Structure 1
Amino acid sequence: MHAFVLLHAAWHGSWCWERVAPRLRELGHAVHTPDHPDLDDVLHEIDAETAPVVLVGHSSSGMLVSAAAERRPDHVALACYVSAFLLPDGELPPDAARRDTESILGAHLVVDPVHRIRTVRDPEVVFYGECSPEDAAMAAARLTPEPLVPTGGSPTTLTAEGFGRVPKVYVVCEKDRALGPATQRWMAERTPCRHVYGLPADHSPFLSTPDELTTCLHDAATRFAG
């Protein structure tokens, strides 16, 4: 079938794909879930595959997907954005976040200037509102602090010849409180996508709706990745 590279978001780890990855493998796909990857790590995952890959980015890792697509347009068959930042060249997540009136993430950020880290207060509410209490507590306990200044070097310039050549799909999470659904749809409209899926999910469909998310990813790869 296809080779998927699933990229997790800030504060999370590769553990967030523990329910989706086995489901994709059961459908015949190869699946890779690098832990805390930077752009070089993602490019290494792409280069290790003999055929073009399907890149999936959740939330902040949408920026990694876009950067990798720019660098490897002939080796990325499809870029999938799951409640993720899909932004044009020159725009960064804070630019989109400023227009997001639905998100409660900013009000729940906790900044530690001494240790230069950021954490999230009440992540069960911000990230996991549609999960079971048990799943929300489990996931919240596995979150790790993020540095105040993200690592990974300078932003990648996005061009029509690179990033613009890669087909894209978007998965909107309709009950998201971390990245508002209206902002998700706005991003998917500004940067044309082959298809926009909608899920009745919070910011973490890999936990709250893993079957439905797997169906979206499988359908996207089957229809749009060639």
Structure 2
Amino acid sequence: MAQACFVLVHGAFHGGWCWRGVADGLRRLGHEVYTPTQTGLGDRSHLMSADITMATFVRDIQSTIEMEELNEVILVGHSFGARSICGVSDIIPERIKHLVFIDGGLPFDGRSRLEGMTAEDRERRLARAEANGGTSVPPPDPSAFGVSDPVIARWLRKHLTPQPLGVDTSALKLKNPLANGIPATYLRCTLPAFPGVEESAAFARSQPGWHYIEIDAPHNVIVTHPELTIEFLDTIAKPANIKSML
């Protein structure tokens, strides 16, 4: 029997492929691991559509959990994936044991990703989408995610795909408070600190009952530091040991 069940949700421009090193390591430790790709990205990039919204992304992860008949799930969202797992926890909290946000943007104020941007960043985002046909936003250079290793950067450039614009423009409608009463841990990456999640990190740090942890690693820690990510998630699977990370 597996020690714990992980569902790992990728961020913007990525896909299930980005968890390869982390997933392999967790499986070696005896955990059950799923790495679904959200519609329009990665191995599902051929499904890109103007109809993709946050509801689509949430349904992608919900369907994986339900079809695989998973329970007691440790649901992990990296970066933009934090929004998706918030939506899933709002719908099927009975299947989720713990929420883990890795340097994620949280929909704590009800606004869409686009609405939460500065006017300048919003205009830049829309301009990039318009230049890409209006349906999606092309991926940035890996350096935007704090990746400096040239080998890792080349690998990412081969795999990153455009992000559906609809998930940026659509709000995530939650019926319950964020996290829906499920135990939650927020991992903030600080070397360098990713500029898009300061407010989310501050919100997470202020939440009673949440664990908030900072580490000296870049935003794309799941790719640049897989062993560190494995150690962190393995500790989450053993609640008695989490205090050692605080």
Please give the range of the TM-score, normalised by the shorter of the 2 chains. 0.7 to 0.9
Relative to structure 1, the CA distance from residue 95 to residue 108 in structure 2 (aligned partners, 3 Å threshold; closer, same or farther) is closer
Which structure has more helix as a fraction of its residues? 2
RMSD: 3.0
Are 2:214 and 1:195 aligned?
A: no
Are 2:155 and 1:142 aligned?
A: no
Number of aligned residue pairs: 217
Question: Could you say which residue in structure 1 is the equivalent of 2:231?
Answer: 215
* Match among 9, 27, 30 for residue 28 of structure 1: 30
TM-score normalised by length of structure 1: 0.82
Contact preservation (8 Å) 1:4, 1:31: yes
Name the CA distance, whole Å, in 1 between partners of 2:116 and 2:209.
18
Q: CA deviation at 1:15?
A: 1.0
Q: CA deviation at 1:139?
A: 0.7
TM-score normalised by length of structure 2: 0.76
Identity of aligned residues (%): 25
- Per-residue CA deviations over 1:14-72 (Å, capped at 9, x if unaligned) read 11101100111111110000112522221122223343201000111111111101111
SS of structure 2 residue aligned to 1:144: coil
Question: Could you say which residue in structure 2 is the equivalent of 1:87?
Answer: 107
Name the CA distance, whole Å, in 1 between partners of 2:200 and 2:154.
26
Name the CA distance, whole Å, in 1 between partners of 2:77 and 2:147.
20
Gaps spanning 5+ residues in structure 1: where?
none
Relative to structure 1, the CA distance from residue 106 to residue 10 in structure 2 (aligned partners, 3 Å threshold; closer, same or farther) is farther
Contact preservation (8 Å) 1:6, 1:57: yes
- Per-residue CA deviations over 1:79-130 (Å, capped at 9, x if unaligned) read 100011123252333455449xxxx999788614151121244x23211434
Relative to structure 1, the CA distance from residue 193 to residue 126 in structure 2 (aligned partners, 3 Å threshold; closer, same or farther) is farther
Relative to structure 1, the CA distance from residue 31 to residue 109 in structure 2 (aligned partners, 3 Å threshold; closer, same or farther) is farther
Name the CA distance, whole Å, in 2 between partners of 1:106 and 1:211.
37
Question: Could you say which residue in structure 2 is the equivalent of 1:56?
Answer: 76
Q: CA deviation at 1:222?
A: 1.3
Q: CA deviation at 1:135?
A: 0.8
